[in-house]
Amino acid sequence: MYLCIQNKHFMEKFYTGDPSDIIQFFPKFNLQIHCCRYWWIKHWEHESLSFPFWRIYNNDQKGAYMEFEKTIVAMDPDKLYLIAPNTNFSSKLYNYPIPKVKHNLKGGHISGFTQKEHNTLINEGAIDHLFIHFTLGYPYDLVAPGIYTFNKDKYLEQKINLLKNYLKIKIAEFNFTIFLTIESLICELLSKLDEDVWRFLVRDVRVIKVINHIENNIHKDFSNESLADIANMATNSFSRLFKEHTGDTLQLFITKKRIHSASLLLLHSDLSIDSIAEQTGFTNRYHFTRVFSKITGKAPAKYKKESLYYGFFET
């Protein structure tokens, strides 16, 4: 009887029936899908394909290669490739050399061809290429560069086939089912990454809270004092804490985030440079161009123009 009473007291203490009696903390990320395309490509020769977003690749035929840190990856149709942001790798089809202009892309949407025309392209050496670009937001876009390879099991195969069949018909509009399929594919591949991939990420909740505020309000002006208030800390103390965790001062970090947001808009939207400057918190086009050129080494117009060769815009 005594044991029963003790067990009853134990149950009453730890199982109150209130599901919110223990506060739980979950990582928060901001998944943004920037493009999902299914192309035929006859040329894919690039000296460098380093950009600030994640990518997923899958080809239907062999013949494409990536090289990262002196390791050549022969792309297999039975595998999916997840590429971390800012991974500097080169690419090519077959033994085609990278030209002196450092890039050569020839391709387009598969949906623009009949089955007979598509078969002719494949017989002539073209490759069907599915690619998805996305970001996760801070801090999950700051992982170490790398190319991760996954076997295409039957569940991944179903998702990939669903996307490809849809993209053969539609290239601009995505219904909710297809959108969820893209999201589930992304999350499934990310969940397969080793925990060590995320080990160095910022974990101080005060710093993360401020960074989230910056990302969600990138078009606004920020003072060190106002950001320290969000962290409920003195300005100097928070400035030191922020640099300790990110390696950057507050204002340099904000500038980098503005350029990061601007580069995504340059690559994945048809907004004018003036509009992008306004949306990312620059006083005007000239201020934006000066800062963008300093950070990236290229003027915004040139950066956008060269992206034509990387498959971000229709050729």
Domains in the chain (CATH in brackets) are: 32-198 (2.60.120.280), 205-310 (1.10.10.60)
H or E stretch at 115: helix 115-123
Cα distance between residue 179 and residue 185, in whole Å: 10
> What is the reported pLDDT for 287?
93
Which residues of the chain have a pLDDT value below 70? 1-21, 200-203, 306-315
* Long-range CB contacts for residues 165-173, cutoff 8 Å, separation at least 24: 167/36, 167/37, 167/38, 167/109, 167/110, 167/111, 167/130, 168/38, 168/110, 168/111, 169/111, 170/111, 171/37, 171/109, 171/111
**From CA 162, how far away is CA 46, in angstroms rounded?**
29
**pLDDT, tens only, 73-94:** 999 999 999 999 989 999 999 9
33: CB partners within 8 A, 6+ apart = 132, 133, 134, 179, 182, 183, 186
The structure's pTM equals 0.78
pLDDT tens digits for 171-219?
889 999 999 999 999 999 999 999 888 876 666 889 988 988 998 899 9
